[in-house]
Amino acid sequence: MIRTRAPVHSAAPPAAARPGASAYFILIVILIDSIGFGIVLPVVPGIVMKLGHVDLPTATRIGGWLGVVYAAVQFLSGPLVGNLGDRFGRRPVLLGSLAGFTIDYLLLGFAPSLTWLFIGRAFAGFFGASFGPAGAALADVSAPQERARYFGMMGAAFGIGFIVGPAIGGLLGELGARAPFYAAAVLTAANFLFGAFVFRETLAPENRRPFLWSRANPVGAFHALRKLRGVVPLLAAAFFWNLAAMIYPTIWSFFAIAAFGWGPGTIGASLALVGGLMVASQILIVGRIVKALGERRAAALGMTAAAFGFLAYTMVHSSVLAFAVLGVQLVSACAMPAISGLISRHVPANAQGELQGFNGSLNSIAAIIAPALYSAILAYFTGPSAPFRFVGASFVIAIAFVLVALAILLGSSKAQAEGEDQIPPATPS
């Protein structure tokens, strides 16, 4: 029997899970987690060169493969974690993620060789980042039409962390390449303890479903989600957008050294500026743009702004101009919250964890491709065998991915766009 869709205004989060303390806790988790993540970014090139006894181009390639290992493991485990969240709730999954990352930072801090760096990244990939479970929990506590705003708040929390984290990491990096990893481990452990005592479960019992191994893998999750109208094109657009956006965490530290000769302090300052702009965007701009243009057009605007920013980095060779171009983040930060809210509208409450898990797997595929591609291109065009030096070559590829994402997003059918004021019923148990 075909079931009709219910209007959005009739679908509200359960009373026990309405926005409140749980939402604030999730945002605090993202804040502290992003601080820990940002702390280590300025020193990754240094510790790879130190442990590997290699030059910068070789370290760039190694850094790319570290990202590939992390993403490959996360690709396989993402739907598993998401389905566990739909069965047992968000709390145990989120706390497990934080515990795993604490161990990862300790492994990286004490790593005696490059082999241990790869082991640490694989370990972190298995547990996954906290953003997937946190996104599912935010979906639990918010009405569908409000999710873009909540995902924007999550982006703002991440941005604040990116102000504080790289700034601290840049300062600690001057003391030694390992110091930021120890600081990140302490912060993540504190985050785990905070969650263990404060965080309440957000997934209501009636919205849970049995755990099925057939859906706890990327293929099974895709098979389940593709039955929901309009989800696949939006996931494809999000995939190519993430593939483009990953150029910053993948190669920025290496790019900044090669293009501008920056040290850890300046790299940390640049990342802190990006975080500040993200916060300003999420607080002052994203909500207004989404309200005025709608989620689809807001995402398209953010992608377009990012493409112009990438284009600028193919030509900029001045540190002053490099900081100025980072200002494009003020608008490009609209893309991810808008498209995340758009996708979540198409998925019922008892499959939000599965959605986040599968989306995490898609992000992992992007994270496998991005470091292998961007790092290799940067290393080649800054290495001795390059026919000419072109530090911004990787950004040309990122522009192409943005254009693909934009074409998919704007090419979605009119029927799909008209259906975005509807949400599907709960999936069968």
**Average pLDDT in the 345-360 region?**
64
Tell me the range of 155-164, 197-206, 237-246, 284-293 where mean pLDDT is highest: 237-246
Task: Determine the average pLDDT of the residues in 127-153.
Answer: 70
What pLDDT was estimated at residue 418?
A: 47
Who wins on pLDDT, 232 or 148? 232
Q: What is residue 218's predicted lDDT score, i.e. its pLDDT?
A: 58
The answer to whether residues 310 and 399 touch, using CB atoms and an 8 Å cutoff, is yes
d(CA 306, CA 22): 32
- Give the residue with greater pLDDT, 349 vs 420: 349
> Which pLDDT belongs to residue 15?
39
Residue 148's pLDDT is what? Answer: 65
Structure confidence at residue 400 as a pLDDT band (50, 70, 90): very high
191, 242, 375 from 97: Cα distances, Å: 11, 21, 27
pLDDT given for residue 222 in this prediction: 58
Report the pLDDT value the prediction gives residue 355, as an integer from 0 to 100: 66
| Segment 113-140 mean pLDDT | 76
- Is the predicted pLDDT of residue 8 greater than 50, yes or no? no
Average model confidence (pLDDT) for the chain? 76
The pLDDT of residue 147: 67
- Spell out the alpha helix ranges (H) of 146-286: 147-173, 179-198, 218-225, 231-245, 247-260, 264-280
pLDDT (tens digit per residue) in 18-43:
455 667 777 877 787 777 777 877 77
Q: Per residue in 243-257, pLDDT tens?
A: 998 888 788 888 888
CB 277 within 8 A of CB 333: yes
Quote the pLDDT of residue 324: 83
pLDDT in tens, 49-67: 888 888 888 887 888 788 7
Which position has the higher pLDDT, 350 or 293?
A: 293
pLDDT of residue 352: 60
pLDDT in tens, 401-421: 999 999 988 886 544 544 454
Residue 6 φ then ψ, to 5°: -95, 150
Mean pLDDT, range 193-217, rounded to an integer: 71
Residue appearing with tokens 């019922």 = 348
388 has a pLDDT exceeding 80? yes
Mean pLDDT computed over 252-263: 86
Give phi and psi for 383, each to the nearest 5: -95, 175
366-380 per-position pLDDT tens digit: 877 887 789 889 988
